[in-house]
Chains A and B, each alone.
Chain A
């Protein structure tokens, strides 16, 4: 009946599970998943931040360059700004593809049976009140069909 599981933190996880989590963390499959995740996410974050900051810095310090006209009234500043939109959309699409092709299969390959009970355990700890919580979640696909 209590919300102990609310902190999925110490209150929620029993200390005895941590050995199991450590074992999963050290498994080859998980290491592969983490490496694949970081290999994409970290360089991409650096890339788009540098690209964005370059745009801001040029806007502040290279006004002459930014004001150069490209076609008609369209200048470098506008093209640069629009390219920020393009790069943002492109990274979003690339990441979605990468996640579906690479990360999701890798995540599925990690054997979490040692701790798979944890979600259920949370439900048990929460008592009967949590049972309906799972109700709408199960109905989620139905909503999509509509």
Chain B
């Protein structure tokens, strides 16, 4: 009884304590990264410096930066939350995200590094007529990056309100504006060098934070995974089902099982088509370093997802699904809440400190990812659309870099405004959509460019637009937009964009199962229905891609 009467004021004091400490840590991270950015700007003189960090990063540095670019807040907070609330199904996500790297390693990384220069379109347009292919690749790069960016920034807004305990709309808006301003600064001032270092710092912080939490959780269970799982299942109230696939995905009928396959396909094929990931391969001196950096990334990302498994089930066992869902229905606060519990629980100094540390790591995570996305989209606008489509290849390097900075400013500003408007919407689907578009529009054209001799301009353009339009089209007809109740979606989707009574025509939440084959088919048909042959250029591409001769 005494404890309870004391608890309230102590709790409030501790909350303030963790908020202040959180803000201090976050300010420290921002100060360090701003210093790095300004330092990097002094080292940035040429277009290769700005777009590709002077190609001077080591394989390990780039591997860390890839991890920093890839492990978004959605991975850290989202997957941990999914484990905590839906049990095993979180694993379906993290495994898709990891296995996807093998596509990048075996089929893309080295070949892209050897044959391209700054952007994804460099490789797609290598054998083709430049303008139509670069325009298409530029558009799909910008669409994918902006969708991804919106999801991250809106997520940042809600995350901060959750972690700082402030429910006001003003806090959300200010968070979005500050995140946006910082990312614009990193990209325009620091270019690829500054952005890469921000991502490296973030990756180290995130891995360290996750490692400490993992060991801490495991130590509570005598390093026995089985007893941790047993406890998590018991606390969840769902028993063994909590440790099996199906609580969240593919639970009911045929469509929901197909939806799970669709998600799996989009995850595994999407990564190797994400422009902000692809341009990271240009930051190393040669293809061997590109390959080794992917292997570093696989090690880092794999270790990270293994840790989120422990963190997520740890949150389910130690914090409990009810307490997590009470804070955030999506479970995004599972990791920070677990940190608080580990540190000694709400109201304790230890809890406040550890919560603050994990919250600051989450902010850092968001900043590094949005910077990478802004850089990828602005680079593509300047290098592909401005220099090669509008100026027909007659722009000076200086003009190009200047245009890239302007584009970063404009894209950043657009992202800020859109995120402010979208702040109340459920935009988590945008990440899955970005993966689906990358897998449907970018990957087919990339693979055909690199491996199919007959492939040509019409095929490339048809593949990109076909994949892009079919992915968007399926989403426009899906439960994301039309949330009416149906046998597939018994609960309906109350956060649907257009209507929550009309039943969706296509019950898939993820478009991949339809749009990925459509993308490949369009690329194939476009090619065989047009006469152009690019055999000579294919010989050049093959030789350069495999031997590294003439690589930039």
Contacts and interface: CB of A to CB of B under 8 A. Distances in A.
A40 B92 CA distance: 27
Contacts of A84: 95, 98-99
A33 B103 CA distance: 20
B366 interface: no
B230 A73 contact: yes
Interface string A1-22: 1111111111101000110011
Nearest to A104: B288
A135 B36 CA distance: 21
Nearest to B230: A73
A95 B245 CA distance: 31
A102 interface: no
Interface in A35-93: 37, 40-41, 44-45, 48-49, 52-53, 55-57, 59-61, 63, 66-67, 71-75, 77-78, 81, 84-85, 88-89, 91-93
Given A8-B550, A30-B546, A56-B260, A74 B229 contact: yes
A57 B134 CA distance: 37
B24 interface: no
A56 B397 contact: no
B106 to A, nearest CB: 5
Nearest to A17: B540
B127 A9 contact: yes
A7 B130 contact: yes
B interface SS class: helix
A42 B295 CA distance: 18
Contact of B397 (A61, A67, A116, A126): A126
A56 to B, nearest CB: 4
A7 B384 CA distance: 9
Interface residues on B, range: 35 or more
Interface stretch (B54-62, B168-176, B330-338, B356-364): B54-62
B548 A136 contact: no
B295 A45 contact: no
A52 B94 CA distance: 12
B539 interface: yes
B285 A73 contact: no
Given A30-B546, A84-B99, A130 B46 contact: yes
A21 B536 contact: yes
Given A77-B88, A88-B102, A92-B105, A18 B122 contact: no
B22 to A, nearest CB: 32
B246 interface: yes
Contact of A78 (B88, B103, B397, B539): B88
Contacts of B118: 6
B298 interface: yes
B347 to A, nearest CB: 32
Contacts of B243: 67, 73, 75, 77-78
A123 to B, nearest CB: 9
B539 A137 contact: no
B245 A66 contact: yes
A interface SS class: helix
Given A10-B537, A133-B46, A133-B48, A2 B295 contact: no
Contact of A6 (B106, B128, B388): B388
A124 interface: no
A5 B116 CA distance: 11
A24 B541 CA distance: 11
Contact of A4 (B261, B393, B552): B393
B291 interface: yes
A52 B268 contact: yes
Contacts of A11: 130, 393
A21 B539 contact: yes
A71 B56 contact: no
A32 to B, nearest CB: 11
B219 interface: no
A37 B294 CA distance: 17
B133 to A, nearest CB: 9
Contacts of A49: 268
Nearest to B538: A25
Interface in B228-257: 229-230, 233, 240-241, 243-246, 249-250, 257
A6 to B, nearest CB: 6
B394 interface: yes
A25 B543 contact: yes
Contacts of A73: 226-227, 229-230, 233, 243
A116 B550 CA distance: 6
Q: Top 4 A-B pairs ranked by shortest CB distance? A: A136-B54, A72-B226, A118-B550, A56-B264
13 contacts: A7-B125, A9-B130, A10-B130, A33-B547, A52-B95, A55-B95, A59-B250, A71-B226, A89-B298, A93-B295, A112-B543, A136-B49, A139-B56
Interface of B: 43, 45-49, 54-58, 61, 88, 91-92, 95-96, 98-99, 101-103, 105-107, 110, 115-118, 122, 125-130, 134, 225-227, 229-230, 233, 240-241, 243-246, 249-250, 257, 260-261, 264, 268, 285, 288, 291-292, 294-295, 298-299, 302, 305-306, 383, 387-388, 393-398, 400, 536-537, 539-540, 542-544, 546-552
Given A1-B396, A112-B543, 7 more contacts: A7-B393, A18-B539, A34-B546, A73-B233, A115-B543, A116-B550, A129-B396
